Amino acid sequence: MIRWLIPLAALLLASHAGAAPLRDPFQRPAASRPEAAPITPEKPPRLRALVLNGARSLANIDGEVLAIGEQHANYTVLRIDARGALISRAGRETLLTMQDKDSE
């Protein structure tokens, strides 16, 4: 009986030597794992020019000439003055200045 047990054990060990490693039973299969979408920060609009004329001031934002209250790319122009154009989107305000233009 022992004569058969040793070769049988050697055969079983040899068959498991080339086998794939055990996988984690709690790990999701590769196909069902959601891939993370790359996050690319959205660039704010660029202020290209200002025309200051009191309440009728204009701002050139990304090539579009806008007055106070007008919208571009979901941004609303709130104020135009010598400092720049104040825009808002989803309750968040951003001041576009001419210095921003020079830094790009």
Give per-residue pLDDT as tens, 54-64.
989 999 999 99
Residue 39 lies in a domain: no
Residue 51 lies in a domain: yes
- For the chain, how many structural domains are there in total? 1
Residue 88 lies in a domain: yes
Burial (CB < 10 A; 0-12, 13-18, 19+), residue 53, is exposed
Residue 6 lies in a domain: no
Report the predicted TM-score, pTM, of the whole model to 2 decimal places. Answer: 0.58
Q: Find residue 67's DSSP bridge partners.
A: 58
Residue 95 lies in a domain: yes
Residue 76 lies in a domain: yes
Residue 55 lies in a domain: yes
* CA–CA separation, 42 and 17 (whole Å): 52
Residue 67 lies in a domain: yes
Which residue range is the domain that position 63 belongs to? 47-102
Structure confidence by residue, pLDDT tens digits, 7-22: 777 766 665 556 667 7
What mean pLDDT is predicted for residues 32-60?
Answer: 83
